[in-house]
Chain A
Amino acid sequence: MDRRLPMIALGFAALLLGLGARAEEPAAPIAPPQGEELEKLKAAFRRPEAPPPAPKRNPPTPEKIALGETLFFDPRLSRDQAQSCASCHDPDRRWSDGLARASGFQGERLPRRTPGLMNAAWGLAFQWDGRAETLEAQARMPITAPNEMNMDMTLLTERLRAVAGYAPLFEAAFGPAPEDGALIDETRILDALASFQRSLVSERAPFDAWIEGEEEAIGPEARRGFALFAGPARCSACHSGWRFTDDSFHDIGLKLDPEAAEPDLGRGAFVPPEVVGLRHAFKTPSLRDLAPEGFHMHDGSLRGIAAVIDHYVEGGEKRESLSFEMRPVPLAAQERADLVAFLESLAAPEAPRAPPPIP
């Protein structure tokens, strides 16, 4: 016999133990990781020190960010001048609207919930179905969508050129009009909006202080909740890293809307039909700065964090597209409370923000 057998036996033992983790029995009270193991785990959730990344083509400047902020709050971006980006992405509501589903052009009820915008600079795909690759490309979508701002980019450019107060803002941000172009054009509008959004970064949450070594920054419940989240509950299989998202797409088995004419395929609408696993798959949202009693999920179908936890305990609807990572997570009442406490520790105190003057 060679040296291989003991190795393989070891391998098998590890495999069996690994499989054991999938058994659907209630989780025994866990001993949270300690010492070096805990430090390694914490490092995976530590905030980056570098400023928000930006594409080389569109580096942020204070002037560009200021212009973008003005545009973001300006209702002229919608055809009927009734809605600005901030009407739906309200800074006082964590850059969302507090609704289950967004209210669009002249009050039309939209099929999806308005996501918050914090830390978007680090995102790899935008919209719930990831159909926008950059924030620049995304910004055009709500402006031109007939059920959102219902605007036309040419008309918008003309409208802004007619506002005397915008010229100095565009000039400060982008310099004078190029020889072959205009001071105010579509690209500059979208670049400024994207730059402003890249400047939106979560404030430090109690969890961040704990990660950096302030032991008492979060309570024992939240600490146990973190161990569950990154451990037996396997939340971090998808909600990974400091933003708590893998920027990826999963069907977590939410009930399909019985009132919708067609079920929302999410990412599945953008992949070949044989890729069954992406049907009803949506982008993993960040878990920072959640509104504890707010609406959650792409369709606003769950209200309050506790309802979300219940969904994961049940494991979602068993269908062909259900993510491989989704399986029932049996949790005792105390463990559910621990997870909620942990998620609450990811919310920074709200920083009040006055809207900018609109020219």
Chain B
Amino acid sequence: MALSGFFMRVEVAALAAVLSLGFAASRAQGAGEKPVAGEICATRAEAPEAAGALPESSAEASAEAPSGTEEAEAAGAPRSFTLIIHHTELEQVEFETRAGDELIFRNTGDIAHNLYLTYEDGTVETLHTQPPGTEKRTILKASGRVLVRCWIHPIIRLELDVAAAE
């Protein structure tokens, strides 16, 4: 066996770091290049992330909006937010979301998750099993309190205050 799970954890974390750096570098040099295909890279490059609203680990990469999403800069247009789940920690971020915005959950740890969103009216949306190194996306469907939790790991919990679409 080449690597143990223990080392794998480190690898995966390192991988995420390497990728963020790679992207930060590439975007700084000129956004819009076709990304090299790859599980994490591809999804990452496709993510139309809004400027300035992203959590620390992806802030660098999103300093510039990727090409093709300039229209997303327009006031009131839906935006996209990336949240990092590492092991059983879901990044606690403070940003203002509106109905219609996209949430991207990126699993950078080494265990699978099964996130779900509960809207104020009780509607539950399940995002299903999310293996390490993958992303899940969803569009915020309604305004009000939205609770993000994991069916597997009850410790994971994030509350969002979602404003009405503009």
Which A residues fall within an 8 A CB radius of B? 2-5, 7-8, 10-12, 14-15, 17-18, 20-21, 23, 25-28, 30, 33, 41, 124-125, 130, 227, 230-234, 236-238, 246-250, 267, 271-272, 274-275, 277-278, 281, 323-325
Instruction: Decide yes or no whether B40 CB sits under 8 A from chain A.
Output: yes
Chain A nearest CB, measured from B114 CB (Å): 5
Residue of A7, A28, A33, A231 touching B22 (CB-CB under 8 A)? A7
Q: Check if A18 sits within 8 Å of B15, measured CB to CB.
A: yes
How many angstroms between the C-alpha atoms of A28 and B2 in the bound complex?
8
Chain A nearest CB, measured from B113 CB (Å): 9
Q: Check if B15 sits within 8 Å of A277, measured CB to CB.
A: no
Q: Check if B2 sits within 8 Å of A277, measured CB to CB.
A: no
Q: Which residues of B contact A249 (CB under 8 A)?
A: 151-152, 154
Chain B nearest CB, measured from A296 CB (Å): 21
**Known contacts A2-B26, A324-B131, A231 near B7 by CB under 8 Å:** yes
Which stretch, B31-39, B46-54, B65-73, touches the partner chain A? Answer: B31-39
Q: Check if A277 sits within 8 Å of B1, measured CB to CB.
A: no
Q: Check if B5 sits within 8 Å of A237, measured CB to CB.
A: yes
Q: Check if B151 sits within 8 Å of A275, measured CB to CB.
A: yes
**Could you tell me how many residues of chain B have their Cβ less than 8 Å away from some Cβ of chain A?**
44
Q: Check if A237 sits within 8 Å of B3, measured CB to CB.
A: no
Q: Which residues of B contact A275 (CB under 8 A)?
A: 114, 116, 126, 128, 151
How many angstroms between the C-alpha atoms of A185 and B74 in the bound complex?
61
**Known contacts A2-B25, A11-B41, A247 near B15 by CB under 8 Å:** no
Instruction: Decide yes or no whether B88 CB sits under 8 A from chain A.
Output: yes
Residue of A5, A8, A238, A267 touching B19 (CB-CB under 8 A)? A8
Q: Check if A7 sits within 8 Å of B8, measured CB to CB.
A: no
B1-35: which have CB < 8 Å to A?
1-8, 11-12, 14-15, 18-19, 21-23, 25-26, 29-30, 33
Q: Check if B36 sits within 8 Å of A14, measured CB to CB.
A: no
Residue of A3, A4, A15, A232 touching B36 (CB-CB under 8 A)? A4
How many angstroms between the C-alpha atoms of A12 and B35 in the bound complex?
14
**Known contacts A11-B22, A15-B15, A27-B1, A231 near B40 by CB under 8 Å:** no
Instruction: Decide yes or no whether B110 CB sits under 8 A from chain A.
Output: yes
Chain B nearest CB, measured from A319 CB (Å): 14
Chain B nearest CB, measured from A271 CB (Å): 6
- Chain B minimum-CB-distance residue to A130: B154
Q: Which residues of A contact B1 (CB under 8 A)?
A: 20-21, 23, 25-28, 232
- Chain B minimum-CB-distance residue to A237: B111
